[in-house]
Structure 1
Amino acid sequence: MFIRPRTSVDITQIPHVMRVNDWVIAANLLEQWFNNPANDNIPPDTTTVKMDDWVLQFRRVRRVYEQMLSQKIWLNDKAQIVVVKMLQQQGKLTDTETEFGDFTKPVPLINDDYIQYRTVGSIWDPTDDLFASLGRLTLRIAIKGVVKPIATGHAIFIQELGIYSRDSFDFKGSQHLGYWNMNNNYGGKNFFRGSKVRNADFREWSKQHNRGGNYLVFSDLKTIKLKGDGDVFETTI
């Protein structure tokens, strides 16, 4: 049975267009998707995206990152509730001084205990490598420190931060993915310059070729040691 394509674009050529435009990370991630088997059980990518060398080089990410630090979001009321619950579940609220947090673990495991996050990205962002690869991403914070018993409960000393980015690389939903032209290597938002590509085009390709596997993308972990004994708050638990 002949299946009429949704788009006139050969989507397998998009990584080439991305490389011509110097969107190297986007091209690498998309090629991974094409090469993956067609399922949702693909291991996360933890090596392609780097915080210092790539993520934080984009001003819109750097702006949110610096706000997270200046606002100390690991110490706000919501974060304190999450931290106390996490330490309870880990059995760290005892009658002896106890360390928590392990930044030697792989980032996907550290992600199980992140305490706060901020989202970066919108449809108004410039068409660049970040927009083409991740679009909207989250910056997440995990913590490391010490719990000390006190007369009224526990004092929780946050001594080190671990900050990383997380995103899902998939083609779920009805997202519009811009306009692409293989003849002039254009990829962007100008509908006069290319043909529209949608998430559905990738799902259709996946169905026909039994390839195209969705996966999570984690950056490496950027660690920050806080001054002195760190930031502290108390809980009556």
Structure 2
Amino acid sequence: MCVIGLISLFFIRMIFMGVFVKRVDYWKMSRIIKVPYYFLAGSKWKESSGSQGCVPLNTLKCISFDRSAPNEPSPPRQVPVRELNKQVREKSREKSPPPALTSRPETTPPQDAEQIENPPTFDLLDVPGAMKNMGWPVSAELATEWFGSAKHIYDDNPNSVQPIDSATISLDWCLNFGGVKDKYNDLISRKIYNEAAGALIKNKIRPILERGFQQSIALDFNTKIFLKDLRKFHMDWQFQIVSVSSYDTLTSHLGMTDLTAALANFGIYAAIGHVEVRGDRYYKYDRSAKTRTYCMDAQIKVTHVYVYVKDNYSFNDSDGNSQYLGHWNKKGVILTKGSLVSELVNGRRLHTRFGNSIEAEMNFNWKYLFDRPLDKPVDKRTGVIRKFMERDVYWPVYNSTYNRWRERHNRGGDFMIYSKPKYVKLGRPIEVDVGVICRPAEKM
């Protein structure tokens, strides 16, 4: 017999002796109801369902908050989880009598999750690394900034004073994704010229012209000098917005992008940039009062605008349910809720195999798909035999997960994101009739 044959015979014998393979109760595994999940393959979402679905896990273990945040003092050493589990098992063996032998039941009802005592650890601080692994460097940078900042909670007031990041996101970067450029073009070519935008421009500029006209007839101005305070600039000069949904940030195959993970839903804003003022100037005479009043029929042209992105980076929830952010591990993210995919594509329906195969109908646990997110870790179980591998176990993450981490570490700072305002010359100026403005009457 050749050497290869001897080696093969040796390994086969070892396998049957149980040296290399731990005994697995496949009859038990088959009774676990698998649920579908979605994963990104390149730029596409793909569905894995039926026998290829993931296995929900029941465990007392949670996402770890043990690692210190950037610049955070290290906490006192704690007993490792494995050591604690070992102590618990030893005490349990001391107090509990040996289990009685029972015969295998003929039939058992399907379980909604598999029990596991110590699944692979996942720390919330692993999320930025997972984002980098997914090819989302900007998202990772923003997440790292949040973890490394002092504790601060956004008050849901878009005009309130907040920490500002105006360096990480740029308008041009955002325009590279999905349908964002179409939204931008709609803003610049149509929305800034509508009646509502004109009315807001008039309301903002008229008081300025009335004050300026008291001392000068040179009324043209530029808002560049106000850019040092982006919050105040936004409040004073913004006059139109186009909303960008998470759907607009997806690839042509509906895959998530770095922009989806960084901002999801946000706004692109237009603010007044350069204004030219024209109009007839004249005196109005009051013969009875013997006064004259210097007036102007003010017509303005907005020839340039500033365009920028604005959004808040926070983890607030608007209702009683915390927003589901996906199932994460150190490698990336998967989604375990069918309705979340519909939410990502802004209500557009996706074609899936749900219910179109016997396997899908038999193995799907429908309550997980649409009633609520799956609030359990899951095991993709891509190995032939092994299970609970670190690469396959994913943990559910919610807004509330970040909020609990913040309370634990006294860090985690929400902030406002601005892109640097881009100065854009309009092909067609915005023309607005401001109306008559006058100086105080003077004696003749």
* Distance across 2 between alignment mates of 1:4 and 1:110: 48
* Distance across 2 between alignment mates of 1:39 and 1:127: 28
2:245 aligns with 121
Structure 2 counterpart SS, 1:211: coil
Indicate yes or no: 2:328 matched with 1:177. no
Residue 97 of structure 1 and its aligned partner are, at CA, apart by: 3.9
Structure 2 counterpart SS, 1:57: coil
1:236 aligns with 435
Residue 11 of structure 1 and its aligned partner are, at CA, apart by: 1.4
* Distance across 1 between alignment mates of 2:334 and 2:184: 26
Point out 4+ residue stretches in structure 1 off by more than 6 angstroms. none
CA deviation string 1:19-68 (max 9, x = no partner):
1111011000111100111124652000011112x111113211101111
2:366 aligns with none
Letter in 2 for 1:43: P
Residue 181 of structure 1 and its aligned partner are, at CA, apart by: 1.8
CA 66–222 in structure 1, closer or farther in 2 if over 3 Å, else same: same
1:84 aligns with 202
Name stretches of at least 5 consecutive residues in structure 1 with no aligned partner. Answer: none
Structure 1 counterpart SS, 2:141: helix
CA deviation string 1:55-97 (max 9, x = no partner):
11113211101111221x22211111111111134x2245434
* Distance across 1 between alignment mates of 2:182 and 2:243: 11
* Distance across 1 between alignment mates of 2:280 and 2:178: 43
Q: Matched residue pairs, number?
A: 229
* Distance across 2 between alignment mates of 1:110 and 1:6: 41
Name stretches of at least 5 consecutive residues in structure 2 with no aligned partner. Answer: 1-59, 65-120, 154-160, 282-295, 338-377, 381-393, 437-444
Structure 2 counterpart SS, 1:157: strand
Q: Any residues of structure 2 matched to 1:48-59 within 5 Å, and which?
A: 48-52=168-172, 54-59=173-178
Letter in 2 for 1:69: I
1:148 aligns with 278
Q: Any residues of structure 2 matched to 1:27-46 within 5 Å, and which?
A: 27-40=140-153, 43-46=163-166
CA 127–227 in structure 1, closer or farther in 2 if over 3 Å, else same: closer
Letter in 2 for 1:136: N
Q: Any residues of structure 2 matched to 1:86-105 within 5 Å, and which?
A: 86-89=204-207, 91-93=208-210, 95=213, 96-104=217-225, 105=227
Q: Which moved more, 1:93-102 or 1:199-208?
A: 93-102
Letter in 2 for 1:219: S
1:225 aligns with 425
Bigger Rg, structure 1 or 2: 2
Letter in 2 for 1:17: A
Indicate yes or no: 2:147 matched with 1:17. no
CA contact (8 A) 1:42 1:213 kept: no
Letter in 1 for 2:143: L
Q: Which moved more, 1:143-152 or 1:167-176?
A: 143-152
TM-score normalised by the chain length of structure 2: 0.48
* Distance across 1 between alignment mates of 2:243 and 2:125: 29
CA 148–13 in structure 1, closer or farther in 2 if over 3 Å, else same: same
| Residue of structure 2 aligned with 1:47, choices 167, 186, 191 | 167
Structure 1 counterpart SS, 2:192: coil
Letter in 1 for 2:209: K
1:133 aligns with 262
1:205 aligns with 405
Structure 2 counterpart SS, 1:92: helix
CA 199–236 in structure 1, closer or farther in 2 if over 3 Å, else same: same
Letter in 1 for 2:423: T
CA contact (8 A) 1:46 1:218 kept: yes
CA deviation string 1:185-233 (max 9, x = no partner):
12142466532210000000000100001000001122211248x3322
* Distance across 2 between alignment mates of 1:232 and 1:25: 39
CA deviation string 1:146-201 (max 9, x = no partner):
2334467321111101111001000000221112122xx12142466532210000
Residue 6 of structure 1 and its aligned partner are, at CA, apart by: 6.8
Residue 4 of structure 1 and its aligned partner are, at CA, apart by: 7.4
* Distance across 1 between alignment mates of 2:405 and 2:146: 11
Residue 103 of structure 1 and its aligned partner are, at CA, apart by: 2.6
Q: Which has the higher contact order (CA 8 A, sep 6+)?
A: 1
Q: Name the % identity.
A: 23
